[in-house]
Structures are given as structure tokens and as C-alpha cells.
Homo-oligomer: A and B are copies of this chain.
Amino acid sequence: MATGRTHRPATRSRGIPEATVARLPLYLRALTALSERSVPTVSSEELAAAAGVNSAKLRKDFSYLGSYGTRGVGYDVEYLVYQISRELGLTQDWPVVIVGIGNLGAALANYGGFASRGFRVAALIDADPAMAGKPVAGIPVQHSDDLEKIIQDNGVSIGVIATPAGAAQQVCDRLVAAGVTSILNFAPTVLSVPDGVDVRKVDLSIELQILAFHEQRKAGEEAASGDGALPTAAARSESADQGPDGDMPAVMPA
């Protein structure tokens, strides 16, 4: 059942910790918002608040990229936007294919956040012949028979799988065989890939289950401890750490 590895835990990516890489997009978004409001500089404290992390972490993260700030002043917004974009590889064009144009695939195709960040939906692919030719988000859906040709003609290296779970592994194999080396998987399956191929997974049902776990505990505490009321907010006002943070996975639809 040999499942291939995924995002290289071993060889840390050019000295930048995975945890840091995963936060760069967060900073980038916050910075982009500042940039749009023509804010020239920002302190680690302000930017951290906007990104929902604490400032020490942010400074440490930036220190892996280089010394891009000015002591006593802060960071130049435009400069940082550029540096982070470059580091993430967003200064180049990434053609992406989406396979499986159901509800979710269509939602992804319509998602505006793509184009804004160097990603370009090069093609939509579905196994249903009835879908072929039908435009979704202005892009005509193509039949999966042509998957290999589409990948090669467009020089696609990133694929998004939004098929039912049953089809995911097969689609994955074909994508990989055709040259795709990064996969974003929305199907609730563990994909097997050869070494050198990255897989990331987004899974709604897992996220909900994690919430349920904590929700259950809240209810339990309430009933148990004679404490009565809600937890006395000890440390409020900063931090935030939203999303899978010290945590991990996530699964998805069928």
C-alpha cells in the first residue's frame, strides 16, 4: 500500500521551516490589504494583529527570509509584498487544472482568489460527457479523456482534485503520469503518489469533527465544574492562531 511521501518533512525547504512557509500567504494577504490602503510601513505588532499571529512569531518568520525591516521603524509594505511573493513563487504564472466539476469544482473555478495570486485556471476537466463544452466560470469543461494532452499542452504542474472519493486515486495517477507534481486534494481519500510529488489535502468533514470534539468538551466542562459561567478570559486581546495550526489535516466531500 506504499503511499508516497508528501511535503518533504526531511529536507527542510531551503532553510525555511514548513510552519513559516504556511504562514507566508497569511502575511501576504494582510500586506496586500495594507498596500491597497496605501499604508507605507507597518510594525511587526500591527502586521501580526492583522494576520492573526503574535509578533514574535512573525519577526522570527521574516528573519528566515532576510533582514527586510528597519529597526525603530518597521517593514516597508510594498517591499515585503514583493519579497514574500517572490519567495512563494507567485511572481510566476502557475497554470492549474481542476478535475471534477461538480458543485465544489465549480465553486473553485469561480473562486476569484486564484487569478490574483499568480494562479490561472488553465482547464476544467470532468468525466461526464454531458458536461463537455459547457462553460463554467467562463471556461469550457473538457472531457477527461483528454487529460494528458491538456496537462502537457498547458505545461500544468499543479492539479486540483475535486472528484468523488472513488475516482480520486485514478485521477491522481493520471495527473502524475502526465507530469503534475503538486496536487491539492479535496476528495476524502489518502492519495498514493510517488516520491517527489506533493499532496495537500483540504477536508471539510475532518475540520467539522475537530470542532465537534472541542464543542463536546465545552459542554462537558459546563456541566462538570461548579464554575458555573463561561471560562474567565485569562489571556485575551492577542494571538488568534486560527485554523489548522499546531494541528493538521482536513478531509472532504464525495
List chain A positions with a Cβ less than 8 A from chain B: 1-10, 13-14, 18-19, 21-26, 28-30, 49-52, 87-90, 92, 94, 96, 102-104, 106-108, 110-114, 117-119, 157-158, 160, 181-185, 188, 190-192, 194-196, 198-218, 230-231, 233-254
Contacts and interface: CB of A to CB of B under 8 A. Distances in A.
Nearest to A207: B200
Contacts of A103: 103, 106-107, 110-111
B3 A214 contact: no
B249 A25 contact: yes
A214 B199 CA distance: 11
A89 B21 contact: no
The copy count of this chain in the complex is 2
A220 to B, nearest CB: 8
Given A21-B213, A108-B204, A117-B205, 19 more contacts: A2-B236, A18-B247, A21-B210, A24-B213, A104-B111, A110-B253, A111-B205, A113-B188, A113-B254, A114-B205, A117-B208, A185-B242, A191-B242, A192-B240, A196-B230, A200-B210, A201-B242, A243-B249, A243-B250
Given A50-B190, A246-B9, A249-B242, A215 B181 contact: yes
A48 to B, nearest CB: 10
Question: Which of A30, A218, A247 has the most chain B CB atoms closer than 10 A to its own CB?
Answer: A247
